[in-house]
Amino acid sequence: MAETLAQPNAGGGGGLDVLEPGYGDDGRPGEPARRQVETAKLGLWIALGSITMLFAAFTSAYLVRSSGNDWLPLVVPSILYPNSLLLIASSVSMEIARRRFLSFWPVSFRKWLLVTAVLGVIFLAGQVSAWKALAKQGIFLRSHPHSSFFYVLTGLHGVHLLAGVLVLLYVLVLATRRSLTPGESSSPELAATYWHFVDVLWLYLFVVLFYL
């Protein structure tokens, strides 16, 4: 059976063709719906700006602290290389999911969204493995300044990525219930924006922690 997503129409028919509240007679978002979408986008960008400022502050502290005499180099846990590639792959799958949604391919959209969430979970498991590998070497949060920054920054990033996974699962539930419609629902686009952001943030942290 071909994949299709219900598209709004002005006919006022039954089932999925019925216009949702907030949409005009032509099936396009009305003013209340547009305001809601714009508010959601603004809220997301404010949140991303706050996260950026948080990690920028940590980066400044990192650079200042790295000039101290007690600063010790930290060897990159080997798991972080494939883990980083895994996260890059998740951005690719997220982008595929977003485009599938816009192209009215619901089954494919849900599949790629689930793939992205699974890759995110595997990445988090890899981060835990990296922490365990350092612990086996006797390197902990309070071992030295470099290790402290590593645990704190990767931990903070992990929390934000976990939030992204939960968002993806929420969007997946909405898609399964057929509560999303291309051209009307902004949740997939907002989720994709956030996911790409945390992916780029990880690459930035990786460079700062080991190559800056």
Residues 52, 54, 55, 60, CA torsion sign: positive
Contacts of 165 (CB under 8 A, 6+ apart): 117, 120, 121, 124
Distance (Å, whole) CA 131 – CA 140:
8
Distance (Å, whole) CA 96 – CA 108:
9
Residue type, 140: F
17 pLDDT higher than 50: no
Q: What percent of the chain has pLDDT over 70?
A: 84
Contacts of 84 (CB under 8 A, 6+ apart): 202, 203, 206
Q: Is 12 left (phi over 0), alpha (psi -120 to 50) or beta?
A: left
Contacts of 159 (CB under 8 A, 6+ apart): none
Distance (Å, whole) CA 119 – CA 199:
12
Distance (Å, whole) CA 6 – CA 75:
52
Residues 149, 152, 154, 160, CA torsion sign: negative
pLDDT band at 183 (very low <50, low <70, confident <90, very high): confident
Condensed to tens digits (0 to 9), the pLDDT of residues 139-176 reads 999 999 999 999 999 999 999 999 999 999 999 999 99
Distance (Å, whole) CA 186 – CA 105:
16
pTM of the model: 0.84
Distance (Å, whole) CA 22 – CA 71:
58
Per the document, the length of the chain is: 212
Q: What is the pLDDT of residue 29?
A: 52
Q: What is the pLDDT of residue 31?
A: 64
Find the mean pLDDT for residues 80-87. Answer: 97
pLDDT band at 45 (very low <50, low <70, confident <90, very high): very high
